[in-house]
A = this chain, B = another copy of it.
Amino acid sequence: MTASSSVPRGRRPGPTETREDILDAARDLFSQQGYEKASMRAIARRAKVDPALIVHYFSSKEGLLTESLTLPLDPARLLDDGLRGVADDEVGEALVRTVLGLWDRPALRQRLLSMLRVGMSHEIAMGVLRQTFARTVLAAVARLADDDTAALRAELVAAQMIGLMMARMVMQLPQIAEADADDLARLVGPSVQLYLTGPLDTPDTP
């Protein structure tokens, strides 16, 4: 807010800066008020731009939503980096540690939180969330289970990770919210490992 007072008077922000300001404002308002309630006018006001500029850059409110949910770093690549050199039977723990580590990156934290919050209440945002998870987790699973169980394994891992992130970041269940990320990786890793490499069909009959 006050940072703008150090910018020389009369200098106008460049297009990239304006675009980013609009996206920041949209993320804040979508996350606080929900997609439906946050109006283009309110977003423009917060970003200190003319509402017409939003249409110019993003065509529509839905276009703005989709862009606002795009992550500045590729989570699939970050996950791949985190799992490099890890033994097959330790991928579960490493995966949890790496995903929790994404939240420690200032560039990602606010966006992931916004994606989770907005995603649960709006269809388009849900689509972005679904794709992000599918792409990220499927890539990680593929190296261990490159067969017809990969899709199910990836979804089971995704379900566990979504629940963990919800519990820690959104619902803030006290024990999970306050736990050290490494401790949490040790606690949840074995379950993720089960989904990655464990048996998928326990016999029904004794």
Contact = CB atoms under 8 A, between A and B. Distances in A.
- State the main secondary structure of chain A at its contact with B: helix
A163 B171 contact: no
Contacts of A129: 171
A166 B120 contact: yes
A188 B171 CA distance: 22
Nearest to A182: B204
A49 interface: no
Interface string A156-174: 1011111110111011011
A157 to B, nearest CB: 10
Given A37-B36, A167-B155, A186 B201 contact: yes
Interface stretch (A20-28, A64-72, A189-197): A189-197
Interface string A114-127: 00111111000010
- For the complex of A and B, the 7 pairs showing the least CB-CB separation, nearest first, are A163-B163, A191-B191, A159-B167, A120-B120, A34-B34, A36-B37, A121-B121
